[in-house]
Amino acid sequence: MAFLNFVLYLLKHGNIIDYLYYFSPNTLQRGTFIDVFIPGLIAAYLVQFKKEFLKKNKASIHLIANFLLFFGGLLTLALVSENFLGFNRPFYHFRFLSLLFAISFSLIIISLYMNNNFLNLLFKNSLLQLIGKIGFSFYLIHMVVLEIVNKVSLHNSLNFFISFTLLVIFSFILYNIIEKPSIRLSYRILKKLKLERY
Nearest to 31 by CA among 18, 21, 45: 21
pLDDT tens, residue order, the chain (198 aa): 767 767 776 676 666 555 555 454 445 455 556 677 788 888 999 998 998 999 999 999 999 999 988 887 777 776 666 665 555 555 666 656 677 788 888 999 999 999 888 888 888 888 888 888 899 999 889 888 988 888 887 777 788 888 889 999 999 999 999 999 998 998 888 888 876 655
Q: Residue 181 sits in which domain range? A: 126-198
Sort 43 into a burial class: Cβ within 10 Å, 0-12 / 13-18 / 19+.
Answer: buried
Provide the greatest CA pair distance for the chain.
Answer: 57
18 with 98, same domain: the answer is yes
93 with 155, same domain: the answer is no
10 with 105, same domain: the answer is yes
Q: pTM for the whole thing? A: 0.63
Cβ contact 197:190 at 8 Å? yes
Cβ contact 66:119 at 8 Å? yes
43 with 97, same domain: the answer is yes
